[in-house]
Structure 1
């Protein structure tokens, strides 16, 4: 993956959003065009998103963007944090696509941007 892609973190977007991206990709393929890559993870509510993307994990992602490929132990030293805690954060962020590991076991943040899109709940009828 190139480093100019964006990871979209969507809160409360519902399944319609994913279906629209799939339909757009299918339409592009039917027209003989290559669909634009789209990387998205979704959460039902803000508390779920904040449980994954904690302030310390945002710091970790930012440090990886600055350093590029590195080991978990080197990242822990750079951040001044315990290896075990950094390893746990890296593992969690890999599950949500925010971090990748290469063939040599080095980690990096593959996205140039992470866009957080929060959809507020609809108002209930009075």
Structure 2
């Protein structure tokens, strides 16, 4: 809202929710973070090119891309190239309620 008060266009906000930390970590595994990082550094590319760059099996990288596309962490363009559209992913976690003393 601060942007609107200053007459600047507001940046769109996008968020997803997870049932718990287990689901979060099943989506954002270390290999998935590596994949997202490779796309951020290398830009849009085919899944085959991404698999070669990561030195991983094509089928596994393809499955990882499908999972990350499902969670909207990466996207596929009209030419079939995958890319990471976000320059940051912020994780905000609510801790369990505190027990009464």
TM-score, normalised to structure 2's length? 0.87
Higher relative contact order (CA 8 A, sep 6+): 1
Residue in structure 1 matched with residue 44 of structure 2 by the alignment: 69
Distance, in Å, in 2 between the alignment partners of 1:34 and 1:113 is 20
Q: 3-state DSSP class of the match of 1:84?
A: helix
Q: 3-state DSSP class of the match of 2:66?
A: helix
- Figure out how many residues of one structure are paired with residues of the other and give that number: 97
User: Structure 2: which 5+ residue stretches go unaligned?
Assistant: none
User: Structure 1: which 5+ residue stretches go unaligned?
Assistant: 1-23
Residue in structure 2 matched with residue 88 of structure 1 by the alignment: 63
TM-superposed CA distance for 1:34, in Å, is 5.5
Distance, in Å, in 2 between the alignment partners of 1:82 and 1:36 is 37
TM-score, normalised to structure 1's length? 0.71
Q: 3-state DSSP class of the match of 2:65?
A: helix
> What is the RMSD computed on CA atoms of the aligned residues?
1.7
Residue in structure 2 matched with residue 53 of structure 1 by the alignment: 28
